[in-house]
Structure 1
Amino acid sequence: MERFVVIDLETTGHSAAKRDKIIEVGIVVIEQNEIVDSYGTFLNPGKSIPDFISSLTGIKDKDVKDAPTFEERAEEIQALFEDSYLIAHNVPFDMGFINAEFAAVGMKLLKNPVLDTVEMARILYPKAPSYKLGQLADHLGIHHEDPHRALSDAYVTAKLFLKLRDKLNNLPFETITHLMRLEKMFKSDLYELLATREESLAFSMKEEPGIETFQGLAFKKVPETKLSPPSELDSFGEFLDDIYEEDGALSKLMARYEKRHGQREMSETIFDAFQTNRHALIEAETGTGKSLAYILPSIYEAVRFQKRLVISTFTTQLQTQLLEEEIPLVRNLVPFPFKVALLKGKSHYISLEKFEREVMSTENENYDTALTKAMILVWLTETITGDIDEVQLPASGYLFFKRVSTDSEAHIDPQSPWFSRSYYQKARKAAQQADIVITNHALLATDVSRDYQLLPPYDKAVIDEAHHFEETASKHYGLKLDYMNMQYTLNQIGETNDPKFVGQFITKYNEFIEESILDKWDDLMIDAKYETDDLFRGIFQYVAEQNKHQKSLSDIGRTQYRFEKEKEDTDRWNTILEMANRLMFFLRDLIYILARLDQVLEKQYVDKYDKNEIEQYMDQLQTFMDQLEGFFLADDSSTYVKWVEIETYGAKNAVYLYSEPTDISGFLSTDFFAKKESIVLTSATLTMKNSFSFIQQRLGLDNKEIETKKIPSPFSYKDQVQLMVPTDFPDIKHGKMDDFIYATCEAIYSLAEITSGRMLVLFTSYDMLKKSYYLLKEILDTSTYALIAQGISSGSRSRLKKNFQTFDQSILLGTSSFWEGVDIPGDDLSSLVIVRLPFQPPDHPIYEAKSAMLKDKGKNAFMELSLPNAVIRFKQGFGRLIRSTSDRGIVFVCDSRIIHARYGKYFIDSIPDIPLTKDTTQRLMQKAEEWF
């Protein structure tokens, strides 16, 4: 069948079952890989079109008033689908609607084979940033004339299908063979298309260019990196002159180059720190261009002295920016070659050896697993990194990936044929040969806490987004243990009759295993699973009963409870300790039996993979034992804070155990800063009231060995920003939460009228965000304003940001992660509303423990901990507004503590000097209108 009919519908709503109706049909016909026909019509739905559909599609009631009904066009529409595939971008939606209409007029339903371009795009373009039609069209360079209109969308879907088919017809034989086995799980009837491609390859001896095949897998050949000889370099001053001066390399590359004195000053400060082997703290305000400022001295230092340097970031977003934007720019600026490598933790990289085994397994294969396997199969023909962050897997696809990541390998044998093909090993080798290794704080902190086993050796490093480094390091010196992870591991090992690891092992090596070895295995495994469940249920109940200590973390939907050994209810807690001891006893016995099975393998010629897997499971069970011991039995309450989180509305065993050092400064001082020659820590937010003392103390940096520098922003904040604080808001302290939220929403509404939306509202509590969202929905005209809220509107942080920028008049409500790292430059953002000053809840377990420690030392916990954290967070939020010299905007702070409280000046003195107006809300709005 070589006829494909593409359909797209515009409807009065999202559900045919709720009697929503079709208002426009667009159909495009493809034959012989060409678009040969099209059909489009409005349809009268016999009901009014909702406003949000009209604003999305531009179709109004008057457009369909005189249009035909579906019944009048039903026969000619049905005739178009004879002997053809039906194609749609989300088949269940379009087919559901069209068949509901056919059923309503008594005609037979369409039962054509279907091809869903959403599903096909996920499989064939696994690296696409989004699978929405408009964004896919942008990504693939398909022109989209009139988005959200049926015929235009149908044309774009048809062109997308032709690209997808072309991509499919370029896949190697091995990939096609695997896809054919998975095809029965897909929504799309892909078998014929795959079989045609397989047939064309079956008798071809031609090797696919750039593709390697091994053990039935096809993957892209990774080019070998060649080492470049060292270069003769100018002095550092001349090197910077050639780049930064008016007629330098930067001005030749950038059309509107503006010399930034702070950028050069930062580069020189970093180079001086490297040369004198000193550590440095550099606060570089927004607009400095700090990424380029630290990359230049790092590369110069590494190449000139032939010594590797590490650059660490907190977010993968910044890593991507460095690799895709900053490093290519620097290659065009500097006159010598250099090598940069990205290294992440093992859990990011796929293990080809594991995947080759799992791709053939049908155990637990559901739709998401089949889709994940298909996406990975195609991605392997494209990736040179093997880093899964390149792919957007379906939600439960990450569970499958966990089974096939390099982290799931125990110890890969260098003699194994897979070793030379390992993406992780290649990433490590590239890092060993690189001048600059880019990594993340998590891997850097793990490396430090594990005595430098993971990263290649280095003496100097730059830590960007350094205000997160203390928190990340604390996590890696602590522990995290949860029920799901333990049960998942025990289930994967399985009992003797399960088709899991132990069951498969017995089948394979039955003749070598003495029966006595496995006599107790099943009983022990059943007991271990039961005790795990019992222990975590016991903890859940214990925490739920400690009402007076409870704090519901609305942002994550969990209740937290800080565990202090000496203060626990002795009888109840002793019962939990007994459960933990029993579980450790069963885990110890399981490890012992696995060790005996491992000895069986020592004596036989066996599959190395099985030996690796046994050792890996032994390691995991040992880690669980160590963590249980560390949490329940270790006597370290003076140095560690321990807490439990339970899912407030989750299963009765949804429990997470955490432990972190109360003070990380000692660990960092001795394990990190004392062992490295020069560590440069930089961020836009390191100081409070122009002092670095808070961050120095938290990181354990000695005054004698540290350079500090504050690089001011090149922006003219006095002319670009107005800070406004209302004096007539209800006081939240006196039980007037609802009144405060109402006043906040009225201010948001009034300001939105002045700035035409284009507003970011930052909350400290998800509960307050939610209440504000529903109140704003009532008072705002939603046909004028797009109201987008984190946790309510669907999508990731970057998706919400894109949606915000798509609409002309948007209001974005955000909490937690929106206080930093969200760049919305230019006219897209004109006002920033900060609802409350971002203090941490005083009963957060880590804050409680750190406060107690400071009080014991005779210090003021508020001034030493709570206030500096809040000021740094506030500065992060403030930094969202002005991202370029041409931006203008208003910062509206609803929290009057910034002017009335004694500590308010710390917030104001920590941001650039800008005009501050304190007045009634009405007068502030008048001023805002005049200023804009």
Structure 2
Amino acid sequence: MLIEERIKIAFSKNGDFSRILPDFEERAEQTKMALAVFTALNNSHHLMVEAGTGVGKSLAYCLPVALWSKANKKRVVVSTYTKLLQNQLIKKDLPILKSILGDELSVAVIYGQENYLCLRRLNASINYGLFDTFEQAAEINEVLEWSKSGSGILAEYPAPLSPNILERIGRDSDNCFSTKCPFHNQCFYLQAKKRWQQADILVVNHYLFFANAEADYHILPKFDAIIFDEAHRLEEVVAHYFGIELSNYSILRLLSLIYNPRTNRGIIPRLVHSRSKRVEIGQVLDECHNAVTEFFAQIRQKLSEEEFKRRIKEPNIVNNNLDEPLKKLYNTLSELKNKEDDPDLVGELISLTKRTEKVRQAIARFLDLEDKNSVYWIEAAQERISLNSALIDCSRLFADKVFNKFPSVIMTSATLTVNRDFSFLKHRFGANNCQELLLDSPFNYQRQTLLYLAQTLPLPNDEDNFYTACARMINEILKLSQGRALILFTSYQALKAVYERMKKDNFTFLIQGEAPVFKLLETFREDVSSVLLATQSFWQGVDVPGEALSCLIITRLPFDVPDDPRLEGVTESLREQGRDPFYSFQLPQAVLRFRQGFGRLIRNTKDRGVVCVLDKRIVERSYGKFFLESLPKKLPMTFNINAIAQFFKNDKIANKNFS
């Protein structure tokens, strides 16, 4: 049987999926996507697929990938942005495929090396007391017990681990003994690598994918094609992965791993040969500590009291008083490494030496502003001060490292188009020779949804009055929706300002930042009338089907703040090219984010709910049509708040209809 026919049958009304999944529904869009993915793989061409919410895109690419891989003895990488989707693939979608295809299909999920427990480092940490507190000692002993029966993947450890512990026990290539390691035969990382080599499909995240690309594709096993899911996040990942992020906290943590005089912990007290030079080593570390304090104090002075972020345009904004102390530290650690006999401690010294040099080089690169395709900025959040950079234009790097390296690159997401046009992201990715497929959501938005556009609020730039009016309007909407709402903001400052002005009598209010994300979502689902106020990450990737999310309130169109350093760099670059930054970057980015936010509401065919937009620019500004025209067709729209009451009244029990 031809693979195309196999795909059509599998997604048909009485096909493979319907026999396994009791709620499976045949969707023409899902079959069309699956066939397009197979054709792209088979004919070696690139493809962008926008698959609206409900198409079932993960199964739509997983089946053709599996069939093509087995038929051609080829390996495919599937890369995602969020752990949520990665877990869905690993625990749900790929096991479904295995039940259809049997043992023919081999799948491996790959994490970055630091996510694999190193048994030698774990035991060395216990034997040499390489921890700072009794609490950390207890943590390490609990990890030791877990290692006897656990997976060895630290991301799957049942409790959060402190950063110092993770740095001490995670796999580190600079500190690997390979075949000389006493735990070589038990090594979790090596066992995982063997599974990778046998796998047809490798599941990774976007950051690991580009770590592999930066290493000339030597980290992962060789592969022949790529699926990028959540592809709308790729530019953000590439821009920041190939940039700099270095804080005073991260340097001080590195120094404490070397030696913490307050607790007499770190590697130095464990070195026999360091005893005669303990005073000298202490002086070098004191010099580094003082230099860190002085250097970042100079950086902090470049920010006014009101600022927390500033772009840097001139090189050498401060004196690099850290360069010499870090060189001294590097030389001291190298000397200790050459004198040490214990292989475990030598391994730790090698790792710390290399990390010290990487820090020194990152500071030098930042101060030199060496890359003309990067934007540089400084940032402060309370006592944490950081140096940062990000790429301005990722298209050439993406073309060179991805599109020109592989015959078939497939990018998919629920949001890849602006006003049903792929041009924006194709240009940002350098994806000139990429075929396109746009598949609408199968959901009946005409029946399931109402869009309410508020016209009476002040413009958002009149912040104080806007926040006050927002609070009043939200309280009015919540009465009509009986809570059951997710309220999306574009900044935490706006969230806080509006929340302070709201009445809080009738519902449980959940605030992003006051509990872990998973806990907030768990409570939001269980307490059906609760109201969740959130920003940033909650605009995308959040999945709350059912009655708990019956009302979505978008307080403001999600434009990036004008003084964002990377946005400034991108807009300057576009002006130099003779292009309008607003229409060629800022507006399309905001539309994609708006569509992601909109997509939080309707998650299945039984969901019903109202989307409320409180920013009247969507109606009053000429660019508002780009937002509206990017929403699903035949979406009912109203300017009358009473229509919200009527919408919910039409439900028999004034909530979502699950019958």
Matched, 1:393 2:170: no
Could you tell me how far apart the structure 1 residues matched to 2:640 and 2:35 are?
47
- The counterpart of 1:565, out of the listed 314, 317, 329, is 314
- The counterpart of 1:721, out of the listed 420, 430, 449, is 449
Counterpart mapping for 1:178-197 below 5 A = none
Contact 1:723–1:914 (CA under 8 A) maintained in structure 2: no
Name 1:799's counterpart in structure 2: 519
- Alignment-mate amino acid for residue 283 of structure 2: D
Could you tell me how far apart the structure 1 residues matched to 2:645 and 2:370 are?
61
Could you tell me how far apart the structure 2 residues matched to 1:820 and 1:269 are?
26
Residues 419 and 756 (structure 1), Cα distance of their counterparts in 2 relative to 1, 3 Å cut: same
Contact 2:310–2:378 (CA under 8 A) maintained in structure 1: yes
Contact 2:303–2:310 (CA under 8 A) maintained in structure 1: yes
Residues 786 and 520 (structure 1), Cα distance of their counterparts in 2 relative to 1, 3 Å cut: closer
Residues 864 and 931 (structure 1), Cα distance of their counterparts in 2 relative to 1, 3 Å cut: farther
Could you tell me how far apart the structure 1 residues matched to 2:73 and 2:629 are?
43
Residues 469 and 269 (structure 1), Cα distance of their counterparts in 2 relative to 1, 3 Å cut: same
Name 1:487's counterpart in structure 2: 252
- TM-score normalized by the length of structure 2: 0.93
Name 2:657's counterpart in structure 1: none
Contact 2:618–2:628 (CA under 8 A) maintained in structure 1: yes
- Cα RMSD of the aligned pairs, angstroms, is 2.3
- The counterpart of 1:765, out of the listed 478, 484, 491, is 491
Deviation of 1:679 after TM superposition, in Å, equals 0.9
Alignment length (residue pairs): 650
Residues 444 and 712 (structure 1), Cα distance of their counterparts in 2 relative to 1, 3 Å cut: same
Matched, 1:675 2:441: no
Name 1:871's counterpart in structure 2: 591
What's the secondary structure of 1:709's corresponding residue? strand
Deviation of 1:855 after TM superposition, in Å, equals 0.9
Deviation of 1:563 after TM superposition, in Å, equals 0.6
What's the secondary structure of 2:64's corresponding residue? helix
Name 1:810's counterpart in structure 2: 530
What's the secondary structure of 1:341's corresponding residue? strand
Name 2:416's counterpart in structure 1: 686
- Alignment-mate amino acid for residue 913 of structure 1: K
Contact 1:496–1:502 (CA under 8 A) maintained in structure 2: no
Could you tell me how far apart the structure 2 residues matched to 1:262 and 1:925 are?
31
- Alignment-mate amino acid for residue 525 of structure 1: L
Contact 1:495–1:522 (CA under 8 A) maintained in structure 2: no
- The counterpart of 1:523, out of the listed 274, 283, 291, is 283
Deviations 1:436-455 (A, max 9, x none): 11010010011112221211
Deviation of 1:608 after TM superposition, in Å, equals 2.1
Name 1:663's counterpart in structure 2: 393
- The counterpart of 1:781, out of the listed 505, 514, 520, is 505
What's the secondary structure of 1:679's corresponding residue? strand
Could you tell me how far apart the structure 2 residues matched to 1:397 and 1:523 are?
28
Matched, 1:823 2:551: no
Name 1:594's counterpart in structure 2: 333
- TM-score normalized by the length of structure 1: 0.67
Matched, 1:709 2:442: no
Contact 1:310–1:437 (CA under 8 A) maintained in structure 2: yes
Residues 245 and 628 (structure 1), Cα distance of their counterparts in 2 relative to 1, 3 Å cut: same
Residues 660 and 366 (structure 1), Cα distance of their counterparts in 2 relative to 1, 3 Å cut: same
Contact 1:773–1:789 (CA under 8 A) maintained in structure 2: no
User: Where does the alignment leave 5 or more consecutive residues of structure 2 unmatched?
Assistant: 652-659
Counterpart mapping for 1:137-536 below 5 A = 234-335=1-102, 337-362=104-129, 364=131, 366=133, 368-384=135-151, 386-394=152-160, 397-407=162-172, 410-494=175-259, 499-505=265-271, 507=272, 521-536=281-296
Residues 715 and 237 (structure 1), Cα distance of their counterparts in 2 relative to 1, 3 Å cut: same
Residues 717 and 524 (structure 1), Cα distance of their counterparts in 2 relative to 1, 3 Å cut: same
Counterpart mapping for 1:11-50 below 5 A = none
What's the secondary structure of 1:833's corresponding residue? strand
- Alignment-mate amino acid for residue 408 of structure 2: S
Contact 1:518–1:593 (CA under 8 A) maintained in structure 2: no
Contact 2:246–2:387 (CA under 8 A) maintained in structure 1: yes
Residues 924 and 727 (structure 1), Cα distance of their counterparts in 2 relative to 1, 3 Å cut: farther
What's the secondary structure of 1:544's corresponding residue? coil
User: Where does the alignment leave 5 or more consecutive residues of structure 1 unmatched?
Assistant: 1-233, 551-558, 567-572
Could you tell me how far apart the structure 1 residues matched to 2:330 and 2:138 are?
35
Could you tell me how far apart the structure 1 residues matched to 2:494 and 2:261 are?
52
Name 1:12's counterpart in structure 2: none
Could you tell me how far apart the structure 2 residues matched to 1:787 and 1:889 are?
19
Name 1:134's counterpart in structure 2: none
Deviations 1:777-822 (A, max 9, x none): xx3433xx2222212xx32222111111212311111111111111
Residues 495 and 375 (structure 1), Cα distance of their counterparts in 2 relative to 1, 3 Å cut: closer
Could you tell me how far apart the structure 2 residues matched to 1:686 and 1:856 are?
26
Contact 1:645–1:656 (CA under 8 A) maintained in structure 2: yes
Residues 489 and 239 (structure 1), Cα distance of their counterparts in 2 relative to 1, 3 Å cut: same
Contact 2:508–2:529 (CA under 8 A) maintained in structure 1: yes
Deviation of 1:892 after TM superposition, in Å, equals 0.9
Could you tell me how far apart the structure 2 residues matched to 1:454 and 1:475 are?
20
What's the secondary structure of 1:732's corresponding residue? coil
Contact 2:206–2:237 (CA under 8 A) maintained in structure 1: yes
Deviations 1:368-411 (A, max 9, x none): 32442243233223312x112223435x6332222111138623
Could you tell me how far apart the structure 2 residues matched to 1:339 and 1:769 are?
46
- The counterpart of 2:582, out of the listed 846, 862, 874, is 862
Could you tell me how far apart the structure 2 residues matched to 1:520 and 1:829 are?
62
- The counterpart of 1:898, out of the listed 604, 615, 618, is 618
Deviation of 1:897 after TM superposition, in Å, equals 1.0
Structure with larger Rg: 1
Name 1:621's counterpart in structure 2: 356
- Alignment-mate amino acid for residue 584 of structure 1: D
Contact 1:273–1:678 (CA under 8 A) maintained in structure 2: yes
What's the secondary structure of 2:178's corresponding residue? coil
Name 1:841's counterpart in structure 2: 561
Deviation of 1:360 after TM superposition, in Å, equals 4.4
Could you tell me how far apart the structure 2 residues matched to 1:358 and 1:296 are?
45
Name 2:639's counterpart in structure 1: 919
- Alignment-mate amino acid for residue 732 of structure 1: P
Deviations 1:119-162 (A, max 9, x none): xxxxxxxxxxxxxxxxxxxxxxxxxxxxxxxxxxxxxxxxxxxx
Deviations 1:584-625 (A, max 9, x none): 122223323333344445xxxx33222222211221111012
Could you tell me how far apart the structure 2 residues matched to 1:775 and 1:388 are?
42
Name 1:46's counterpart in structure 2: none
Name 2:654's counterpart in structure 1: none
Show structure 1 runs of 4+ deviating over 6 A. Answer: none
Name 1:631's counterpart in structure 2: 366
What's the secondary structure of 1:562's corresponding residue? strand
Deviations 1:224-269 (A, max 9, x none): xxxxxxxxxx421232134112221111112233101111111111
Counterpart mapping for 1:529-568 below 5 A = 529-544=289-304, 550=307, 559-565=308-314
Matched, 1:609 2:375: no
Could you tell me how far apart the structure 1 residues matched to 2:280 and 2:260 are?
11
Deviation of 1:858 after TM superposition, in Å, equals 0.9
Deviations 1:648-685 (A, max 9, x none): xx23xx21111111111111111221111111111101
Deviations 1:32-64 (A, max 9, x none): xxxxxxxxxxxxxxxxxxxxxxxxxxxxxxxxx
- Alignment-mate amino acid for residue 471 of structure 1: E
Could you tell me how far apart the structure 1 residues matched to 2:22 and 2:45 are?
37
